[in-house]
């Protein structure tokens, strides 16, 4: 339960809602990608991906768009290409990832995965809390990504070198709750 305010009333925090990314969200999504990543392009494993052209989800909090997740998938794998929030610690990332996991299961995908960098400690902890596991480590992998996206900085705001790519995955079990067999 939320702590009481000075006047004795309890403040109930807003719960994020998530909707599919639609055409009407296009300008906002491009702006959010630019704000979060400096570009609408995401790079990982030496591949450049236009995240603004992908499907995804938008999270809202009190009617304001505060989070974006973009994805691509095939029949077996579901990749989270980008995830960003303008408000941290409010459950926005959790809501977006929960929706993506549900979506991946509904497509029958065997796994959901994403790539991050070694300096993104907060995100790494978040992915592990979600039950995702580190499944691949690409030493100096960011060098290949810088070849296609030269704007990736050499160091983050704290001075930590941005050098390695880490791949996290969550293996998805088939949904047996509805099976009759």
Residue 178 covered by a domain: no
Residue 6 covered by a domain: no
Residue 159 covered by a domain: yes
Residue 67 covered by a domain: yes
pLDDT: which is higher, 29 or 181: 29
In Å, what is the CA distance from 136 to each residue of 116, 125, 166?
A: 11, 16, 6
- Range of the structural domain that residue 47 is part of: 17-171
State how far the Cα of 166 lies from the Cα of 145, in Å rounded to an integer: 13
Residue 11 covered by a domain: no
Tell me the per-residue pLDDT of 3-41, one tens digit each, with 9 for 90 and over: 544 556 665 568 999 999 999 999 999 999 999 999 999
Tell me the per-residue pLDDT of 125-167, one tens digit each, with 9 for 90 and over: 999 999 999 999 999 999 999 999 999 999 999 999 999 999 9
Total structural domains within the chain? 1
CATH code assigned at 76: 3.40.630.30
Residue 22 covered by a domain: yes
Global confidence as pTM: 0.88
State how far the Cα of 173 lies from the Cα of 76, in Å rounded to an integer: 12
Residue 176 covered by a domain: no
Residue 3 covered by a domain: no
């Amino acid at each position: 339960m939320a702590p009481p305010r000075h006047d004795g009333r309890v403040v109930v925090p807003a719960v994020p809602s998530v909707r599919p990314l639609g055409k009407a969200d296009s300008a906002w999504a491009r702006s959010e990608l630019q704000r979060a990543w400096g570009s609408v392009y995401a790079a990982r494993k030496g591949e450049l991906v236009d995240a603004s052209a992908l499907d995804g989800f938008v999270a809202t909090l009190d009617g304001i768009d505060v989070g974006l997740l973009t994805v691509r998938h095939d029949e077996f794998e579901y990749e989270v290409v980008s995830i960003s929030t303008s408000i941290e610690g409010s459950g926005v990332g959790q809501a977006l990832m929960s929706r993506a996991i549900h979506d991946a299961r509904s497509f029958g995908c065997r796994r959901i995965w994403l790539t991050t960098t070694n300096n993104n400690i907060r995100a790494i902890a978040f992915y592990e809390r979600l039950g995702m596991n580190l499944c691949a480590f690409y030493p100096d992998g960011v060098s290949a990504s810088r070849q296609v996206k030269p704007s990736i900085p050499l160091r983050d705001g704290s001075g930590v070198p941005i050098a390695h790519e880490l791949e996290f995955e969550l293996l998805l079990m088939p949904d047996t709750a509805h099976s009759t067999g």
